[in-house]
Structure 1
Amino acid sequence: MNTSRRDFLKKGAVALAGSALLPGAGRLLATAKIKAITGVQLYSVRDDMKRDPAGTLQQIAGMGYKYVEHANYVNRKFYGWAPKAFKQRLDDLGLLMPSGHTVMAKRHWDAAKKDFTDEWKYTVEDAATVGQQYVISPWLDEELRKTYDGFMAYMDVFNKSGELCKKSGMKFGYHNHDFEFSVKLNGRQLFDLMLENTDPSLVAQQLDIGNMYHAGGIALDIVKKYPGRFELMHVKDEIKSTKGEMGGDYESTVLGKGVIPVKEVIDLGKKSGGTTHFIIEQESYQGKTPLECVKEDLHMMQQWGY
């Protein structure tokens, strides 16, 4: 339970992908006229998914969730299932998976060939097979954010990943942590540089409204600054803590129990932020079980009209 999201991504989020691209179910989901959906990031119940993925998914569906987002794609498998088998498992439970997290690392881009490696191509192919609409990278290697020129060059890779995903009827996306709001290059905040140098038609932003708080980011201000840029949100609340998830002073909690004006943020996202995918994520639980927490989170979202 103490594994932080950051450590999890550094140690275990390995993106494995391939060269053949298929126009999978993601194309159908992408063209569906979805006004707003509420889902859950399965990292919220990561230990349960590790122990009993089939049973955990069944409990998630039983709570009333219709959408999930993965955080486990290893050796071309989702939580141990091959793409088609995992999609069938979701179908049997009435679940859809419009988005998923797989880190796009430096090794996935061959600068000499100016092309993605087979690893990343397989990631995109398999995402299409399970019906994703968005292929989201939830991390940026530290080496890629050390220099202005290096970072800017990788923003071009972001756009190229968007072009690759588009061939399979999907869109590339990025999910922030806290460093995007604390690190500066040439006097500019990393997050600003990212939004200014990625094509919004190719690269979606999944705004984690809790992560940024660890670096002083205010979600309401960000949504107002960049209207229409946040197709997805990680819906999260934060409380004071002595063991913050990112080495800071805060950890996530049940929605409505913390310091973030969550309803105000998601309402603004829906109204002017361009947000259609609201994905609940909770990483700390204050003595409750993860499954109890995500059930409470869903009830709160329903009370708010989502």
Structure 2
Amino acid sequence: MNHSRREFIKNTTLVVAGAALMPDHLFADPKKIERLGVQLYTVRDAMKTDPSGTLKKLYDGGVRHVEHANYIDRKFYGYTAKEFKKLLADIDLQMPSGHTVMTAQDWDKAKGDFTDKWKYTIEDAATVGQKYVISPWLDESLRTDMDGLKYFMEQFNKCGELCKASGMKFGYHNHDFEFTTKIGDGNLYDYILANTEPLLVAQQLDIGNMFGLPGGVAIDIINKHPGRFELIHIKDEIKSATNGEMGHGYESTILGQGLLPVRETLKLARKKGGTSQFIIEQESYQGKDPVDCVKIDLQIMKNWGY
């Protein structure tokens, strides 16, 4: 996720002890429906100018599930929840998950309840057919404020209850700062996982965002926290001619053409990570058309058995 993606997020928002010794099959949930989808941030520019046409192109390219990254003023890409649900249905697409940032301000301390704004967010997610409401950011002011962070993790769990009441699950999506921010003997990501209830708060592990950083190896993270990753953002990474999407020298590319052991990571995620939602996201294209990249990535995933 590059600087513009970080700005996009900011602007639109104004451990299991002994688990590593358990048999891997215990982390697979046979009741979970496995889905392969695409994060629409991959085709962000096209979604700005022609949402309907872009979604149709994705469908024609083999996509059946999408994940949104645009919910502003109770609208998805300019459509109300009911309108966007109909648009998806007309194309025969489903949207099981979506990204909407939850902040500490979405909890009204005086009332001891979520704000109406956040309740509408959950209501609209349910209306459009989501199964997961994913928050993809953690405000900088909370990252080293231990009292504030602890309270915010309680808010995560409360949001899990709120989503559960509507037949959904709340979740969190990582970037890179979770691995560079140290807390005690671990890092911020360890803290988030240790202080959120797995039955209420799903984790969406982005396997590329933290690549190249200490502690940023997805295989190691899955082994360290087995069963915790219901959703995964699938990326491959190459050295960037610029500073890269996350600011540490790498950018995403076509799956299988980069430095990440993507296939091995996904195999472990499926076997040990508890993963059922596999979501492709590519943010850099090396001169290719983003929709064409989606088609190639999707075919590679299908060739790998997804």
CA distance in 2, matches of 1:13, 1:213: 26
Alignment-mate amino acid for residue 220 of structure 2: D
| 1:88 counterpart SS class | helix
Per-residue CA shift, 1:161-210, capped at 9, x if unaligned?
Answer: 00110110100000000001110134431000110110000000000000
- Asked if the contact 1:4/1:246 (under 8 Å) is kept, the reply is no
Per-residue CA shift, 1:86-137, capped at 9, x if unaligned?
Answer: 0111111111100000000121112232211111111100000000000000
* TM superposition shift of 1:34: 4.7
Indicate which of 46, 49, 52 corresponds to 1:48: 46
Query: How well do the aligned residues superpose, as a CA RMSD in angstroms?
Result: 1.6
| Structure 1 unaligned residues grouped into runs of 5+ | 15-31
Normalising by structure 2, report the TM-score: 0.91
| 1:211 counterpart SS class | coil
Moved more, 240-249 or 41-50: 240-249
Are 1:295 and 2:301 matched, yes or no? no
Moved more, 213-222 or 99-108: 213-222
Residue matched to 1:225: 224
* TM superposition shift of 1:146: 2.2
CA distance in 2, matches of 1:115, 1:209: 34
- Asked if the contact 1:83/1:126 (under 8 Å) is kept, the reply is yes
Moved more, 143-152 or 248-257: 143-152
Residue matched to 1:66: 64
Please list, as runs of the form range in 1=range in 2, the aligned pairs for 1:102-121 lying within 5 A after superposition. Answer: 102-121=100-119
Moved more, 242-251 or 281-290: 242-251
| 1:150 counterpart SS class | helix
* TM superposition shift of 1:271: 0.7
CA distance in 2, matches of 1:246, 1:220: 20
- Asked if the contact 1:214/1:246 (under 8 Å) is kept, the reply is no
* TM superposition shift of 1:7: 2.0
Residue matched to 1:29: none
Residue matched to 1:83: 81
Alignment-mate amino acid for residue 43 of structure 2: V
Q: Percent identity?
A: 63
- Asked if the contact 1:13/1:72 (under 8 Å) is kept, the reply is no
CA distance in 1, matches of 2:35, 2:291: 20
* TM superposition shift of 1:147: 1.6
Normalising by structure 1, report the TM-score: 0.91
| 1:207 counterpart SS class | strand
Alignment-mate amino acid for residue 103 of structure 2: A
Please list, as runs of the form range in 1=range in 2, the aligned pairs for 1:157-196 lying within 5 A after superposition. Answer: 157-196=155-194
Residue matched to 2:284: 284
Please list, as runs of the form range in 1=range in 2, the aligned pairs for 1:137-286 lying within 5 A after superposition. Answer: 137-216=135-214, 217-241=216-240, 242-286=242-286
| 2:210 counterpart SS class | helix
Residue matched to 1:132: 130
Alignment-mate amino acid for residue 238 of structure 1: E
CA distance in 2, matches of 1:178, 1:38: 24
Residue matched to 2:55: 57
CA separation of 1:249/1:236 partners in 2, compared to 1, >3 Å: closer, same or farther? same
Residue matched to 1:18: none
- Asked if the contact 1:76/1:82 (under 8 Å) is kept, the reply is yes
CA separation of 1:136/1:2 partners in 2, compared to 1, >3 Å: closer, same or farther? closer
Aligned residues: 289
Moved more, 182-191 or 163-172: 182-191
Alignment-mate amino acid for residue 126 of structure 1: D
CA distance in 2, matches of 1:10, 1:150: 19
- Asked if the contact 1:236/1:262 (under 8 Å) is kept, the reply is yes
CA distance in 2, matches of 1:2, 1:215: 16
